[in-house]
Copies of this chain bind each other. A is one copy, B any other.
Amino acid sequence: MKKTIQKLTVYATLVFGIYHVEAQQTTVIEDFKPSSKNQPQQDYPMVNSQGYARFKIVSPAADSVRVSLGLGGKGGTKLAKAEDGTWMGTTEGPMDEGFHYYNVKIDGGKFSDPGAMNYYGSTRWESGIEIPAHDQDFYALKNVPHGHVQQVLFPSPSTGTSRRAFVYTPPGYTKNTDKKYSVLYLQHGWGEDETAWMNQGHANLIMDNLIAEGKIEPFIIVNTYGMTNEIKWGGMKDFRIEPFQTVLVDELIPYVDANFRTLATKDKRAMAGLSMGGMETKTITLNKPNVFSYYGLLSGGIYLPEEIKDKSQVKMIFLSSGSKEKPERILDAASKLKEAGFKVTTYVSDNTGHEFQTWRRSLKELAPLLFK
């Protein structure tokens, strides 16, 4: 197992390094296996040890089948009709490690791959595929004590309904009934929803593993839907933070504090978010300096020192990004914040972009820094 992982790293480095120069000469190794995100009993899509993905779609009478995944700017991977009447194709190059959303175009219409599980992204349930990462062990399902992920429906007078949140309670929560826990409010990105961090992010498994290794003190994580006023692609200018801020601060936090054994003080409360969830985190932590002490922006922007009115309110700022997302921006912001006297930690995820592998790793780095 260790050997396979080492091999994978070597190939990935090689292949990523040379791709643009000699893509045509790369030999595709025929060790394809079903993606770990497949539906039960489904062989396709498959992935190989180099990070190539291979797709197979049954649609015998179709004229054209195309998968949205593949190399940037080339419109994805065009499948070809195989001898058995199915449509098959392999990405032209290896993909980044980790999780990717995708869809399949059949004769011009956009569908999910019937072989893959579905994950909510881009305001729709998309197909998901997993390119095994060299560091996938930290979010693997292991034989360790597991926390619970609770779906709660909390009353939201401001939106006139009961809203859904997921609450991760760490292992031991059900038995140590005197213990109280700190809470991280953790937001998804644009077009995703409150299922993202547990489903594609494996936040619960990341926490279970960190706790089992004694690397963090157990805490609670809460995810809820942040696009409280629905916005479509391109409609970001219409987004207003107030509806979500009200739901989060005036409705969800009091519900969590009343129904879970939380340490219900500012010092024991953090907020973080990925991408658009980072933008929300920034806005809400600045608007409500008395609610959270730890701030995390995961591929989700920066704070400028002058934006934070009272330095003493902030215990720690975490800024992260994939190495393919211009990380200079967060590194530069961190310098300025440090100069101004803030405690800042940055993290840059190697060889990943604006995708969940960056955010899984970011959570793993962020968790040990919280609630100190």
- A interface, CB within 8 angstroms of B: 39-41, 57-64, 106-112, 114, 117-118, 123-125, 141-143, 146, 148-155, 161-162, 167, 174-175, 177, 198, 230, 232, 258-260
| A334–chain B nearest beta-carbon distance, Å | 36
Residues of B contacting A58 with CB < 8 Å?
A: 108-110
Bound CA span A312–B252, Å: 48
B125 in contact with A39 (CB, 8 Å)? yes
Bound CA span A58–B108, Å: 8
Bound CA span A361–B88, Å: 45
| A312–chain B nearest beta-carbon distance, Å | 34
A143 in contact with B125 (CB, 8 Å)? no
A191's nearest neighbour on chain B, judged by CB, is B40
Say whether, besides A153-B141, A174-B260, A232-B41, A62 and B123 are in contact (CB < 8 Å).
no
B146 in contact with A162 (CB, 8 Å)? yes
Bound CA span A154–B143, Å: 10
A151 in contact with B149 (CB, 8 Å)? yes
Say whether, besides A141-B153, A143-B162, A155-B143, A107 and B62 are in contact (CB < 8 Å).
yes
Listed A/B pairs (28) with beta-carbon separation below 8 Å: A39-B124, A41-B123, A58-B108, A58-B110, A59-B106, A59-B108, A61-B64, A61-B107, A62-B106, A106-B106, A106-B111, A107-B107, A109-B114, A110-B114, A112-B112, A112-B118, A117-B125, A141-B161, A142-B162, A143-B155, A143-B162, A146-B153, A146-B154, A148-B150, A148-B152, A148-B167, A150-B150, A150-B151
Residues of B contacting A175 with CB < 8 Å?
A: 258-259
Bound CA span A174–B258, Å: 9
| A338–chain B nearest beta-carbon distance, Å | 40
Of A112, A125, A141, A148, the most chain B CB neighbours within 10 A belong to A148
The 8 Å CB contact of A123, one of B40, B109, B154, B162, is B40
| A36–chain B nearest beta-carbon distance, Å | 13
The 8 Å CB contact of A230, one of B40, B109, B141, B162, is B40
Bound CA span A153–B63, Å: 44
A175's nearest neighbour on chain B, judged by CB, is B259
A146 in contact with B141 (CB, 8 Å)? no
A161's nearest neighbour on chain B, judged by CB, is B141
A142's nearest neighbour on chain B, judged by CB, is B162
Residues of B contacting A61 with CB < 8 Å?
A: 63-64, 107-108
Residues of B contacting A108 with CB < 8 Å?
A: 58-62
Bound CA span A117–B64, Å: 25
The 8 Å CB contact of A109, one of B62, B149, B258, B259, is B62
| A75–chain B nearest beta-carbon distance, Å | 16
A87's nearest neighbour on chain B, judged by CB, is B109
| A129–chain B nearest beta-carbon distance, Å | 15
A152's nearest neighbour on chain B, judged by CB, is B148
Residues of B contacting A260 with CB < 8 Å?
A: 174
A124 in contact with B118 (CB, 8 Å)? no
| A152–chain B nearest beta-carbon distance, Å | 5
Known: A112-B118, A118-B118, A146-B153. 9 other contacts (CB 8 A): A39-B124, A59-B108, A59-B111, A62-B108, A110-B114, A114-B124, A141-B153, A148-B150, A150-B151
Bound CA span A150–B154, Å: 15
